Structure formats: structure tokens, C-alpha cells
Amino acid sequence: MKENVMSSFVMPILVLTVICLVVSSALAFMNNATKPVIAEAAASRTEVAMISKIPEATGFELIDTKSYDGLPATIRAVYRTTNDVGYVIIAAANGFSGDITIMCAFEPGGDIISVSTLSHTETKGIGTIIEQPSFLDTFKGKDSGLEGVDTVTGATISTRAFIRAINDMLAAFEIIGR
């Protein structure tokens, strides 16, 4: 009787352990198999977004930012066009509900060509002002002064974080692009 109790207790544990190991192995395999495909798709989306910001660019090269001192921590990537018509900088700032990832295109002289929000988790309706053309267009043609750009009432935290990220990208451009 003791054996039946022991086997009825141990057997399900062994079966569940084997099932967990098989499922974990399958998930690890699928993760390794899809990781390059996902990375390639993300790189392709980034390339398309950069070309939409600087259509006259013939290509983009990623700049190794490790060799530059003083870059703001918000900077995620810096790209230079292969035909010297501009730069694209990607940064992430902490907004109201999480990270806001922003892409900013610069002319060779440092003026902003355009800005776009790549991703965010801000509150729908209020914080989503950061993806509206009425807000994004205020950055076009601006230089490091950002004259005329201000936070939006009701979305102060989101827009303040966005503006801080733009200032960080302007600072990064001063270090790398000059």
C-alpha cells in the first residue's frame, strides 16, 4: 500500500517534470530560431523609417558611439547617411507610462529635418499627443535652441520627456555630427 501511495505521488511529479523540460526546450529552440528573423525585420523597419525621414539618402551606416565621450544615456543609436546628407539619431526617454522611443533626422548643419515617435506606452488620448503631427511638426527646422517648442497641457510628463530626448539627441549631434 505504501508503494501505491508513493508511486501515485511520484509518478505525476516525474511526468510533469518531463513535460516542463520538453516544453522549455521547444521554447528555447523556437526563440533561437526566430531571433535572427525578428532582428532582421526590426532592422528593415528602422531602415524604412530612416529613408522616410531623409529620402535623398543612399544608405545609412551605424556609428560606433562607444568611442565618443559625453553622449547622453538616452541615445540608443546614431546613423550617418552614406552620401553625407544627414544623420538619424534614436533615443529613448522615460515618459509617464514607460519608455518613449524617438527618431530624429538632422541636416548636416544640425537643424532638425523631422521627428517621429517609434514606440511608446503613454496614456491613450492624452499622452498620444507625442505621435500627432501637430506636436511633431513643431520640431522641424529647429536647432539646439528649440525655440517655440513647449510642453502640452494635460500631457506635460510625456511631452517634457519627449523634449528632453530631443535635447539629448541635439547634444549627441553636437558631439558626433560636427
Mapped to the 3 state alphabet, what secondary structure does 21-61 carry?
Answer: HHHHHHHHHHHHHHHHHHHHHHHHHHHHHHHHHCCCCCCEE
Cα–Cα dist 127/47, whole Å: 26
| Residue tagged 565618443 (cell numbers) | 68
* Number of domains observed in the structure of the chain: 2
User: Are 152 and 171 in the same domain?
Assistant: yes
On the question of pLDDT at 41 being above 60, the answer is yes
Q: Are residues 137 and 118 in the same domain?
A: yes
64 and 147 together in one domain: yes
One domain, residues 42 and 62: no
Distance CA 67, CA 120 (A): 29
pLDDT tens digits, 107-160: 999 899 999 888 876 767 766 767 778 888 888 877 767 666 656 665 667 788
- Quote the domain boundaries for residue 35: 1-53
In a shared domain, residues 106 and 118: yes
- Phi and psi at 102, nearest 5°, equal -125, 140
Instruction: Assess whether 149 and 72 both reside in one domain.
Output: yes
pTM (2 decimals)?
A: 0.74
44 and 82 in a single domain? The answer is no
- The residue out of 10, 37, 53 marking a domain boundary is 53
Whether residues 11 and 31 fall in one domain: yes
Distance (Å, rounded) from C-alpha 163 to C-alpha 166? 5
Note whether 75 and 158 are same-domain residues: yes
pLDDT over 60 (residue 166): yes
